[in-house]
């Protein structure tokens, strides 16, 4: 069921500082910032040959990454995202396996304009896991 690694997301307090590190030290190719008010984050994409890295900066008062950054003030890996061919079928299978789907269990449109779901980190090796419709 699980497909390609779509991205690894790194939460950061300061997007511009993060961009400077990756662009400067690593010579990375980085997109323009994109505000995602529905998700409480501003996002940039680092394009790699085989996948993407996303930097997430809190947006608004109730950002879902605010608490994470309190615990990880230098930033840190926030989640991994895998592609699935059929997100509804994937969700139903995971629920049948006992995995917890976050939120109301319905896919939201993610940063790439495709439906996404998040799975509880306690069910996936302590790692917040996102699924994105391929
Ligand atoms: Co993501």
pLDDT at 39 (0 to 100): 87
How many angstroms separate the alpha carbon of residue 7 from the centre of ligand 1? 7
| Rounded distance between C-alpha atoms, residue 2 and residue 7, angstroms | 13
How many angstroms separate the alpha carbon of residue 8 from the centre of ligand 1? 7
Q: What is the mean pLDDT of the chain?
A: 96
> Average pLDDT of 105-111?
92
- pLDDT for residue 67 is more than 90: yes
- Copy the structure tokens of residue 94: 């995971």
pLDDT digits (tens, 9 = 90+) for 8-52: 999 999 999 999 999 999 999 999 999 999 889 999 999 999 999
| Ligand 1 is an ion; residues with CB less than 5 A from it | 9, 81, 130
Q: Cβ(72)–Cβ(28) under 8 Å?
A: no
pLDDT at 48 (0 to 100): 96
- pLDDT for residue 110 is more than 90: no
pLDDT at 31 (0 to 100): 96
| Rounded distance between C-alpha atoms, residue 11 and residue 88, angstroms | 27
- What band does 111 get if pLDDT is binned at 50, 70 and 90? confident
Is pTM beyond 0.85 here? yes
pLDDT at 49 (0 to 100): 96
Question: Got the DSSP string for 80-121?
Answer: EEEEES-HHHHHHHHHHTTPPBPTTSS-EE-TTSSEEEEE-G
Angle at 109 between CA 100 and CA 22, to 5 degrees: 95
pLDDT at 112 (0 to 100): 87
How many angstroms separate the alpha carbon of residue 116 from the centre of ligand 1? 8
| Rounded distance between C-alpha atoms, residue 3 and residue 89, angstroms | 14
130 is catalytic: yes
CA distances from 16 to 26, 53, 56, 63 (A): 15, 15, 11, 18
- Contacts of 59-64 with C-beta under 8 Å, sequence gap 24+, read 59/35, 64/39, 64/40
pLDDT at 105 (0 to 100): 94
| Domains with residue ranges and CATH for the chain | 2-133 (3.10.180.10)
């Amino acid at each position: 069921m699980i497909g390609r690694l779509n991205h690894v997301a790194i939460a950061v307090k300061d997007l511009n500082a993060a961009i400077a590190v990756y662009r400067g030290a690593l010579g990375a190719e980085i997109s323009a910032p994109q505000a995602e008010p529905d998700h409480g984050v501003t996002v940039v994409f680092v394009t790699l040959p085989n996948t993407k890295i996303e930097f997430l900066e809190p947006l608004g008062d109730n950002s879902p990454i605010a608490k994470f950054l309190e615990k990880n003030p230098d930033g840190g890996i926030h989640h991994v995202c895998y592609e699935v061919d059929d997100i509804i079928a994937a969700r139903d299978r995971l629920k049948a396996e006992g995995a917890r789907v976050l939120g109301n269990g319905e896919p939201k449109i993610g940063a790439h304009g495709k439906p996404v779901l998040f799975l509880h980190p306690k069910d996936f090796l302590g790692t917040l896991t996102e699924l994105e419709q391929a």
